[in-house]
Structure 1
Amino acid sequence: MIRRILFIIYQRIYTLFRSIRNDQFSHVLMFHNISNENNDITISKENFYKLITKLNEEKRICKIEDLKYQSISKSVVITFDDVFQSVYVNAYPLLKRLQVPYLLFLNIKMLDKDNYLTTEQIKEMLSDSNCILGSHSINHIFMRNISEEKLQLELLNSKKFLEKKFDVICTSFAFPYGSLYACSKKNIIQASKIYDYVFTTINMSFDGDFHNIPRINVNNNCKFLKEMIK
């Protein structure tokens, strides 16, 4: 517990220092639940629509790979973790209508479970080229303390499963939990040998390192949302 608290303190100091130049860079946004629930992984449908509509009007939304070929200033990448049923019900209609790109990070054990996306829903979303499928591991566990062999299985087997089941090329991986406490630098290096894009949940802007991509957790109370729809 003490070790985890120290990691949390270090991460907050680290992100605070890095956030000084936040407005100069792109942001990778992380969504989970789009509903009226009240918790730190949820954004209301109303706020989600306001945010996405404004970002789209400003032509800021792009795919992660686009950042290799254009200025990273002010661009925004949309990602979803886990993925909840509310993403299909409340987010997908707007994303489809506006034709904005987004990344779904699927955890294998959650597929077809209650309150999560079904195989058929994902296939429907993937029929649009703006939807990209990435791995969120098999078991949604903390990676820092597992063996290299077990991590390799989480990384590689999830990729193989997604590519076979959905007939896609899976080039992106998002660490479950994704904090400095949840995944180590060694974990990130190992993931980078398999995936072109590796994502964490460290709350700061993107500075150009595609093998350590931080993301802003967007909920009803986050600073980014409040600044965008004020």
Structure 2
Amino acid sequence: MIVKKILSLAASIIKLFIIILLFSSNTKAAEKNIKYYSNDKGILSLMYHRFNEDKYPSTNIQMNVFKQQIEIIKSLNYNFYDPKDLEKNFNTVKTEKKILITIDDAFSSFYDVAWPYLKKEKIPFILFVSTETIGKNGYMTWSQIKELEKENKAYIGNHSHTHDYLVDFKNEEFINDIQTASTIFNNELGYNPIFFSYPFGEYSGFIKEYISKNFKFSFGQHSGVIDINKDRHELPRFPINEKYGNMKRFKFLINLNPLEYKFLYPEEKYLTKNDNPPKFVVEFFKEQKNLNNINCFSDEGGKWEKSNISFYQNSLKLNFREKYNFRRGRINCSLNDDGVWRWFGIQFSVEQN
């Protein structure tokens, strides 16, 4: 019995040492955060793709459902966020929640079906464009994009040239892809957008570093609510489609608040075979309440299950069951904070070769 207690104590000390080591070795990354608890109401960003294209349920939303979702937002008195304000007040605490609409890929169905409605309702949005497909069957043309871009509520974002799996590219190939897209934007619109969206939400440390030097804001495909402590080049969005667009889910997520954190390890979101599964630690702010109410779920091993988590002071450590075996792995954590639901999500890209 005494030996077991000694071993248990030793294990706890080792875990504590690992957490301290992870944070101390990543001071530079932590300094990028504002590092104070703000109780920011946040910006909740929604991601759409196709409209009324029944053949693609994983990326499609029916227009009548989209209109119902917009009405829900209005009924809750949430204002739509104008993307130009990101430059002005990203570091300003939002006392009221805002909703940001984003659309990826510039499919023709967006122009034909959703764009007239958004224009009529004067709802701002970002349309993320992959330059290689523009003008091809099923996609918008440059003439249509320019028509949108003239409106003061419509903003264009860069979504790469090929919309390929950029993490599979060699560094030179990746840079060439982004430079090709930027050149086309400059030729067609006269500027390269300040907004970028990672195709499939996938990026490595190298990709993020390059994008951060060439764009002001970058969006992924992990769920969560933007607050002043979030990395402006890892901005979360909730994907909305036929599978994940039912009204019950939508009403829940649209009311979510940010789950702020001071630091998250690992900063590298591309997992090789040597670091899969990763060592995952989140440091929260000491002012935050009810941290013991946090629940996390992960899809490692190809199935969503509740994660085994442990706390030391304000730090959460997630103990993985097994490796991620698909090309993308996700973690979602939620907190019932005295009736206020808070949320953040993380997506990893997983080496396939």
Q: Could you say which TM-score interval applies, normalised by the shorter chain?
A: 0.7 to 0.9
How far apart in 2 are the matches of 1:75 and 1:217? Answer: 17
Report 1:80-159 matches (<5 A).
80-159=103-182
- The whole-number CA distance in structure 1 between the counterparts of 2:58 and 2:64 is 16
Is the CA contact 1:30–1:78 (under 8 Å) kept in the aligned structure 2?
Answer: yes
Aligned pairs for 1:209-224 (under 5 A) are: 209-222=231-244
Matched letter for residue 210 of structure 2: Q
Distance 1:117 1:52 in 2: 23
1:186 aligns to what SS in structure 2? helix
TM-superposition CA deviations, 1:37-76 (whole Å, max 9, x none): 1511111000111112332452421133424245075211
Q: Shift of residue 83 of structure 1?
A: 1.2
- 1:206 pairs with 2:226: yes
Is residue 50 from structure 1 mapped to residue 59 from structure 2 by the alignment?
A: no
* Residue aligning to 2:82: 63
**Cα 1:71–1:27 shift into 2, 3 Å:** same
Q: Taking structure 1 as reference, are residues 52 and 168 closer, same or farther at Cα in structure 2, changes over 3 Å only?
A: farther
Which structure shows the bigger proportion of residues in helix conformation? 1
Deviation, 1:113, is 0.6
Q: CA RMSD in A?
A: 2.3
In the alignment, is residue 28 of structure 1 matched against residue 51 of structure 2?
Answer: no
Contact 1:133-1:168 within 8 A present in 2 as well = no
TM-score between both structures, scaled by the size of structure 2: 0.54
State whether residues 156 and 194 of structure 1, in contact with CA within 8 Å, keep that contact through their aligned partners in structure 2. Answer: no
Task: Specify the alignment match of 2:195 in structure 1.
Answer: 172
Residue correspondence of structure 1 range 11-26 to structure 2 within 5 A: 25-26=42-43
Separation (CA, whole Å) in 2 of partners of 1:195 and 1:72: 27
User: What amino acid sits opposite 1:206 in the alignment?
Assistant: I
Q: Which structure has greater strand proportion?
A: 2
Task: Determine which of 223, 226, 229 is the counterpart of 2:248.
Answer: 226
User: How far off is 1:142 after superposition?
Assistant: 1.0
| TM-score (normalizing by structure 1) | 0.80
Q: CA deviation at 1:82?
A: 0.8
Contact between 1:35 and 1:44, CA under 8 Å: does it hold in 2? yes
Contact 2:57 2:243 in 1 (8 A): no
Displacement after TM superposition at 1:220 (Å): 2.5
Shift of 1:189: 1.6
Partner of residue 197, structure 1: 217
Give structure 1 stretches of 5+ with no counterpart.
1-22
Number of the residue aligned with 1:10: none
The aligned residue for residue 39 of structure 1 is 57
The change in CA–CA distance for 1:203 and 1:124 in structure 2 (over 3 A counts) is same
Q: Deviation per CA, 1:175-197: give whole Å up to 9, x if none.
A: 1111xxx3213211211110001
CA distance in 2, matches of 1:24, 1:83: 30
Maintained 8 Å contact 2:83/2:155: no
Structure with greater Cα Rg = 2
Instruction: Tell me how far apart the structure 2 counterparts of residues 106 and 198 of structure 1 sit (CA, whole Å).
Output: 13
Percent of aligned positions that are identical: 24
Contact 2:158 2:192 in 1 (8 A): no
Tell me the SS of whatever aligns to 1:49: helix
Amino acid at match of 2:172: E
| CA deviation string 1:149-194 (max 9, x = no partner) | 222222233123113202345101111111xxx3213211211110
**Distance in 1 between residues matched to 2:197 and 2:117, nearest whole Å:** 24
Distance change >3 Å, CA 56–CA 92, structure 1 → 2: farther
Q: Shift of the alpha carbon at 1:141?
A: 1.0
Describe the shift of the 1:82–1:126 C-alpha distance in structure 2 as closer, same or farther (beyond 3 A).
Answer: same
Segments of 5+ residues of structure 2 without an aligned counterpart are: 1-39, 253-353
For 1:169 and 1:187, the matched residues in 2 are separated by 18
Q: Is the 8 A contact 2:78 2:97 kept in 1?
A: no
